[in-house]
Structure 1
């Protein structure tokens, strides 16, 4: 086999020599570092082993102290237990950090990993305790905050929401915790406050007045200084509310019902402050009439309000407002009766005014005409007075005038009407055909003495089924005899 000689350049030879020199120096340095590490390794290893031994001893002490001085010691309060949880949690975290450091050292030196089963056991227990006591402290802090809250600033919707959230968190805690004293106390604290919440919500209602607080004070035998600036939730929670739960609840419900009654009564009163009578002109004599349609609407509205007031009067919670309700029932009832009588008087006055004011019949009944003139003057005074107080209820019930005056007017008008009816009966006796027509029609016929030709418009009323050809004969007969009838 032929041999080949490889020729390299001077530069390549320099590179090879430089590499060989650097590698030799690096190898030397490595051996020196290895020797140094070997010299240091033993002291570090001994220090690591000493630390592991000390950690084992402290873990043992931690385990023992947890049993004797920890949060699970029987007989300590939940508050003290929560403080011990924080203390032992801090201690555990220090031990856990050292454990991780030494564990890394053992791995570095290739030693067998040291186990700390006691530390792991306490870790599980502390995790459970941390869940329990973090919730415990949160609940206690929150409820203490509620207690310091001024009563005027209480927001029961917010409180109910937070308490419900606490209940849900408590239910989700591990079953292993449910026999622990702190869990039992926590659950009782939440449940007791939650049981009080419905009462507090009722007591916080704006319907609660001083009289209701006085009743609760008498029931619970506890003073509530609701006017004090220092009056807060703790001032209420000091009272034995749950002991008298049903009685307190009845008082609060009464307050709400009373507020509803008061609101409805105020609405009725407010409604009638703006209802006014409306007047109409009569002939050329001025505003001497109530407007019929509008007045009827007022009477209907009065009946509706009376139904509301009657229901309030029948309500068993109306005691604080009973006198006012009775007063307004009387006002509305009297107003309704007076307006109905007023319309009746007005209708009769209008009817008789056409007869006795400037009519021929007034001459036939001079005594009744005189009586009506007196009634007419009184009616005008009454209507002028009514326009001074246009409010419907105030006009009717402001004093006794309307209640006393209208019946007298009605009585006098009925006497006039009775005399007038007697007068008309005498005309029907004279001329029986008048029995077929009404009093107003007959009055209009009798009032046409000056212009008897207008009477022909009424002949069909009492000469029914008469042939047209005979109407002229009848008309002439009637005209001839009219003066005797009238």
Structure 2
């Protein structure tokens, strides 16, 4: 009895240690199929069906119970077989390990059947953490089994893979990024759509390339931000328009481009943004996005260049238009440049009218031939400007005091030179300390002196009666200076009149202590510092003598 029962227990334990399922077959990953086979074997070992040599845990227990009962009837103590207890304990640990594997892998199988695009990754991650906690709570004997070790590794792999899956679900991550990711990790390219199951995605073992996946997702996010920035730039420049205002021109109102600080600021800001995009690594690694960025850089660069050239052309046209269309003298002196300007004027007005009809910044500045057209206008206006400057230089050489006035003022002087009153406002710049001129009326008319402001159309036979300085008025001109002569001589008339008045004042002061005219105290203060020859060539004698000797 007892010896036979002990032998049966020993044989069962030996079979249990050698044949009981402890891990999946060597070289295979833990799967539900392995779990089902292992649980079937464990059920056989527990009883109900013969296993091995026909021994089961249930049969051994029946045999031990029978021995225990006979010992009880005979009043003989019965000692429990220690190996029997070990068999019970070992079968319990095996069952716990495989049942845990069945429970966890069944959950995983249900999750893996879901489309990865719609799976609630956050919930799956939380459930996986709970499963990991349960696996770690197994008894140490069960955790030491191969099945438990593989199960824990599988759970850890899920814990590492699910965050990667969550990142890969970013809306910016497209098939293009999947292709680049597969190429980076050395996997064959395949389509990854939202209908792909979570299990198929996890089978790619992307968690082993988590860094590459996260880098690809970061690249996609940056590209999405770049695309959004490009979209904003495109929308903004689709709405930008040029502002025009009409001014009186030759025979009609000419629309002129108005400065727009907001447009200039937007142009500069967007160019800086595009420069930053072009220099970023994620754009450089995506030829398609880089092409769009470079394209916008070229567009805004062209807009900037065209607007700068446009403003330059417009400014030159505004400076020359009134001269070549309103000055008969210039038209007569520079006939070739006048004809060139008239042709340029017609082209410029046509350009402005066309741009007014389609004022969109991109439409106006990027229309075919716009830059060459502006360059042609600019070259023509520069030739007209150079010829005009050369003509003004001849006038300055003839009368050097014209260097004291600007080209525009000199042109006004030349255009209105027939009317001395109209150009008298420029005299303070041409002659130092002179504020105005006073003109005598022609003979036969009522004589009256008046201070000149500007009166176009006055007679050319007026005579200069006196020059008025800012500190004293010298009216003692020895003779009037005619302004009806040629322009160079006419320009010198005020200077000659001032010299004559000054000489007269010097002579008057040199004759003696006679009182000076009330208007000449300022001149008297300068007599001791000036030595001049009188018109007849005699040196003036000062009384009292000059303090300087």
TM category, shorter: 0.5 to 0.7
Q: Tell me, yes or no, if structure 1 residue 381 matches structure 2 residue 350.
A: yes
Question: Do the aligned partners of residues 407 and 74 (structure 1) sit closer, same or farther apart at CA in structure 2, a change above 3 Å counting?
Answer: same
Match of 2:172 in 1: 207
Report Cα offsets for 1:100-137 as digits up to 9, x if no partner: xxxxxxxxxxxxxxxx9x99999999999998778655
CA distance in 2, matches of 1:120, 1:244: 47
Q: Tell me, yes or no, if structure 1 residue 318 matches structure 2 residue 286.
A: yes
Q: Tell me, yes or no, if structure 1 residue 406 matches structure 2 residue 364.
A: no
Q: SS at 2:239's partner residue?
A: coil
CA distance in 1, matches of 2:343, 2:476: 44
What is the CA distance between 1:282 and its match in structure 2? Answer: 1.4
Q: Given that residues 112 and 197 in structure 2 are in contact (C-alpha distance below 8 angstroms), is that contact kept between their aligned partners in structure 1?
A: yes
CA distance in 1, matches of 2:203, 2:290: 35
Q: SS at 1:464's partner residue?
A: coil
Question: Do the aligned partners of residues 348 and 256 (structure 1) sit closer, same or farther apart at CA in structure 2, a change above 3 Å counting?
Answer: same
Match of 2:335 in 1: 366
CA distance in 2, matches of 1:325, 1:241: 32
User: Within 5 Å, which residues of 2 pair with 1:226-245?
Assistant: 226=192, 231-242=196-207, 245=210
What is the CA distance between 1:392 and its match in structure 2? Answer: 0.9
Question: Do the aligned partners of residues 88 and 353 (structure 1) sit closer, same or farther apart at CA in structure 2, a change above 3 Å counting?
Answer: farther
Match of 1:335 in 2: 303
Q: Tell which has more relative contact order, 1 or 2 (C-alpha 8 A, sep 6+).
A: 1
Q: SS at 1:145's partner residue?
A: helix
Q: Tell me, yes or no, if structure 1 residue 418 matches structure 2 residue 386.
A: yes
Question: Do the aligned partners of residues 272 and 327 (structure 1) sit closer, same or farther apart at CA in structure 2, a change above 3 Å counting?
Answer: same
Q: Given that residues 132 and 183 in structure 1 are in contact (C-alpha distance below 8 angstroms), is that contact kept between their aligned partners in structure 2?
A: yes
Match of 1:441 in 2: 409
Q: Tell me, yes or no, if structure 1 residue 156 matches structure 2 residue 160.
A: no
* Higher helix content, 1 or 2: 1
CA distance in 2, matches of 1:160, 1:377: 75
Question: Do the aligned partners of residues 443 and 73 (structure 1) sit closer, same or farther apart at CA in structure 2, a change above 3 Å counting?
Answer: same
- Segments of structure 2 that go 5 or more residues without pairing to the other structure are 1-10, 25-33, 49-79, 435-468, 492-549
What is the CA distance between 1:83 and its match in structure 2? Answer: 8.0
User: Within 5 Å, which residues of 2 pair with 1:35-434?
Assistant: 73-75=20-22, 79-80=35-36, 136-137=101-102, 139-171=104-136, 177-218=142-183, 219-222=185-188, 224-226=190-192, 231-242=196-207, 245-283=210-248, 285-286=252-253, 288-292=255-259, 294=260, 296-314=261-279, 315=281, 316-363=284-331, 364-399=333-368, 401-434=369-402
Question: Do the aligned partners of residues 477 and 154 (structure 1) sit closer, same or farther apart at CA in structure 2, a change above 3 Å counting?
Answer: farther
Question: Do the aligned partners of residues 158 and 388 (structure 1) sit closer, same or farther apart at CA in structure 2, a change above 3 Å counting?
Answer: farther
Q: Given that residues 278 and 291 in structure 1 are in contact (C-alpha distance below 8 angstroms), is that contact kept between their aligned partners in structure 2?
A: yes
Question: Do the aligned partners of residues 434 and 139 (structure 1) sit closer, same or farther apart at CA in structure 2, a change above 3 Å counting?
Answer: farther
Runs of 4+ with >6 A deviation = 64-70, 81-89, 118-135, 471-474
Match of 1:99 in 2: none
Q: Given that residues 112 and 198 in structure 2 are in contact (C-alpha distance below 8 angstroms), is that contact kept between their aligned partners in structure 1?
A: yes
Question: Do the aligned partners of residues 383 and 454 (structure 1) sit closer, same or farther apart at CA in structure 2, a change above 3 Å counting?
Answer: same
Question: Do the aligned partners of residues 88 and 288 (structure 1) sit closer, same or farther apart at CA in structure 2, a change above 3 Å counting?
Answer: farther
Report the RMSD for the aligned CA atoms in angstroms: 4.3
Match of 2:459 in 1: none
* Higher strand content, 1 or 2: 2
- Segments of structure 1 that go 5 or more residues without pairing to the other structure are 1-63, 92-115
Report Cα offsets for 1:209-229 as digits up to 9, x if no partner: 2233334455544453335x8
Q: Given that residues 23 and 146 in structure 2 are in contact (C-alpha distance below 8 angstroms), is that contact kept between their aligned partners in structure 1?
A: no
CA distance in 1, matches of 2:166, 2:482: 89
How many residue pairs were aligned? 398
Worse-superposed segment, 347-356 or 439-448? 439-448
* TM norm structure 2: 0.61
Q: Given that residues 175 and 191 in structure 2 are in contact (C-alpha distance below 8 angstroms), is that contact kept between their aligned partners in structure 1?
A: no
What is the CA distance between 1:250 and its match in structure 2? Answer: 4.4
Question: Do the aligned partners of residues 384 and 186 (structure 1) sit closer, same or farther apart at CA in structure 2, a change above 3 Å counting?
Answer: same
Question: Do the aligned partners of residues 75 and 162 (structure 1) sit closer, same or farther apart at CA in structure 2, a change above 3 Å counting?
Answer: closer
Match of 1:20 in 2: none
What is the CA distance between 1:463 and its match in structure 2? Answer: 2.0
